[in-house]
Amino acid sequence: MQAWTREQFEQKLKDKGQLYHIHHPFHIAMHQGECSKAEIQGWVANRFYYQLNIPIKDAAIMANCRDMETRRLWVQRILDHDGSVGDQALGGIEAWLRLGEAVGLDRQDLLDEKFVLPGVRFAVDAYVNFARRASWQQAACSSLTEMFAPEIHQSRLDSWPQNYPWIKPEGLSYFQMRLSQARRDVNHGLQITLDHFTSAEAQEEALNILQFKLDILWSMLDSMTLAYQQGKAPYQAVLGQDVVNNPIHHKGLFK
Ligand SMILES: O=C(O)c1cc(C(=O)O)c2c(n1)C(=O)C(=O)c1cc(C(=O)O)[nH]c1-2
């Protein structure tokens, strides 16, 4: 089998955008203004677990990377989410906490991971564990769903103020910040991927890695759909009580 040219390979990676979670029914409903306050809150609380783990994931990638040039650029991702000392700009995690407050969630409940559904936790943990075990080039490739992220951030900025006027506008600053940060990350992650995966087999492997990451994002929303849209939160069928607001599931093991 012959390898694709660099341009063809880049296009194959971009074609995966058809399967991005922007097309998940939960996100479509959110974009169309059809989500209830409880659904938005559930999404914000669960996505916070992703946010919390992004810098852990990026630190794992750096721990596996002997290339100084790469680390010098990659470290910026950690600072973007954690913020840096003396920096006036918000880190992404703090910005997401403010989004939580803007949708009426309690900051401490987010930090306690109170509402994180088991399926969301398993999906996010799979991403972190992959980054720990993979080579840094494979892990860089898995971040490439970010190619498709600016569109979804922009769509929230465009549609939420009209659709969800009850959300305080200052809560949307996370999405604004990510527009430029994601584009910069993608340029770097894409160069690593195009440079590293050059044989036909390696290019197939890269597409499989990207599909793995798409599966993670899609699976997170599947869990949220069951819990918040279909009234089938874990154990609801057994306990028949308000397990959405008083979750019974485990709170994470290795912290
Ligand atoms: O809101 C979204 O839909 C979305 C998706 C993704 C993504 O595609 O992985 C990221 C983000 N947001 C995001 O804010 C972010 O910081 C981020 C980092 C990464 C990554 O894989 O390293 N993905 C994403």
**CA pair distance 22, 149, nearest whole angstrom:** 8
Q: SS3 letters for 180-243?
A: HHHHHHHHHHHHHHHHHCCCHHHHHHHHHHHHHHHHHHHHHHHHHHHHHHCCCCCCHHHHCCCC
Nearest CA to ligand 1 atom 4: 149
Task: Looking at the CA of residue 142, tell me the nearest atom of ligand 1.
Answer: 21
149 lines ligand 1 (CB under 6 A): yes
For residue 220, the Cα-to-chain-centroid distance in whole angstroms is 9
CA 237 to ligand 1 centroid distance, Å: 32
Local structure of residue 91 (DSSP, 8 states): P
pLDDT of residue 177: 93
**Identity of the residue numbered 99:** L
Tell me what pLDDT residue 242 has: 85
Q: What's the pLDDT score for residue 113?
A: 96
- The per-residue pLDDT for 41 is 98
pTM of model > 0.90: yes
Closest CA to 121 of 64, 45, 58, 55: 45
Ligand 1 atom, smallest distance to 185 CA: 22
pLDDT value for 124: 98
Does residue 141 line the site of ligand 1, with CB under 6 A?
no
- Residue 152, ligand 1, Cβ within 6 A: yes
- What confidence score (pLDDT) does residue 241 get? 73
- pLDDT, position 90: 85
Please answer whether residues 125 and 55 qualify as being in contact, where contact means their C-beta atoms are separated by less than 8 angstroms: no
* Residue nearest ligand 1's atom 5 by CA: 149
Burial of 93 (0-12, 13-18, 19+ CB in 10 A): buried
Residue nearest atom 14 of ligand 1, based on CA coordinates:
178
pLDDT score at 234: 93
Q: Is the CB of 54 under 6 A from ligand 1?
A: yes
Tokens encoding 33: 């203004």
Cα of 149 vs centre of ligand 1, distance in Å, is 6
Residue whose structure tokens are 């869990």: 223
Ranges in the chain, pLDDT < 50: none
